[in-house]
Structure 1
Amino acid sequence: MDWKTGIICPIFKKGGIGIVSNHRGISLLDTAYKILSMALLRRLEIYAEDTLTEYQTGFRRRKSTMDHIFTIRQVMEKFYEYNKDLHILFVDFKQTYDSIDRDQLWITPTNFGIPRKLVRLVEICNQQTYCKCVLWGRPLKYLNAEPA
């Protein structure tokens, strides 16, 4: 297995077993790739902590999206207590990742002081990535994991 190829194993959740959306894909990645990715993450976290505001709680050490859930719950209770209207808007960014301008993605981090060599290493890890789905123990064809 190439170090940038993930093997996707669909795990059944619930409902009709023949419906694709009733499965969750688990990616099995090469150990060397995971070690390199973790080392890069640790290096990037140093820069992220200096750049991100206190309001960014997802995907950070010692912070959680539960912090935001607690905050919004407190706000809701206070509005209810004082009989005030409350309007909340939630935006689903689920599809955003596939529409990112990848060329710009590799330029922006250097604007925040992240060394170009570190950004380049992350870029290399995200280029020419492939996945192969394994269904009922049989491998299917390789797919390019990069957005079209």
Structure 2
Amino acid sequence: MDWKERHLIKIPKQGDSSRCENYIGITLLSVPGKVLNRVLLNQMKDAVDAQLRDQQAGFRKDRSCTDHIATRWIIVEQPVEWSPSLYTNSIDY
């Protein structure tokens, strides 16, 4: 297998096998391709991490939703002096 090639393996899930949504795909990469992907990922992580705000927890090492839930709980418990309403929003993938 060439280092740029990959093979997609379809694994059936339960249900009608004639429907695409009843399959899950796994991509098999060559070892040199995996090494290149890891090198690129590490370089990109460092570059992206430097660009993100400290409050950003998604896609970062040693950060989790638990941190944001605790922060939100503290904010909600504090009295809101300038506005009687408080709106919050969370997005988790």
Scaled by the length of structure 1, what TM-score is found? 0.43
Q: 1:8 to 1:54 in 2, by over 3 A?
A: same
Paired position in structure 2 for 1:9: 9
- Provide the rounded CA distance (Å) in 2 between the counterparts of 1:72 and 1:50: 22
Q: 1:2 to 1:49 in 2, by over 3 A?
A: same
How many Å apart are 1:13 and its aligned residue? 2.8
How many Å apart are 1:51 and its aligned residue? 1.1
SS at match of 1:18: coil
Are residue 70 (structure 1) and residue 55 (structure 2) matched?
no
Cα displacement string for residues 57-81 of structure 1 (whole angstroms, at most 9, x for unaligned residues): 23221124x3477369849xx59xx
Q: Unaligned stretches of 5+ in structure 2?
A: 78-84
Paired position in structure 1 for 2:58: 58
**Rg comparison, structure with higher value:** 2
- Provide the rounded CA distance (Å) in 2 between the counterparts of 1:50 and 1:88: 25
- Provide the rounded CA distance (Å) in 1 between the counterparts of 2:86 and 2:43: 45
Percent identity over paired residues: 27
SS at match of 2:25: strand
Q: Please tell me the residue identity of whatever aligns with 1:70.
A: I
Q: Unaligned stretches of 5+ in structure 1?
A: 93-148
How many Å apart are 1:42 and its aligned residue? 1.6
Are residue 18 (structure 1) and residue 18 (structure 2) matched?
yes
How many Å apart are 1:34 and its aligned residue? 0.7
Paired position in structure 2 for 1:33: 33
Scaled by the length of structure 2, what TM-score is found? 0.62
RMSD: 3.3
- Provide the rounded CA distance (Å) in 2 between the counterparts of 1:6 and 1:56: 33
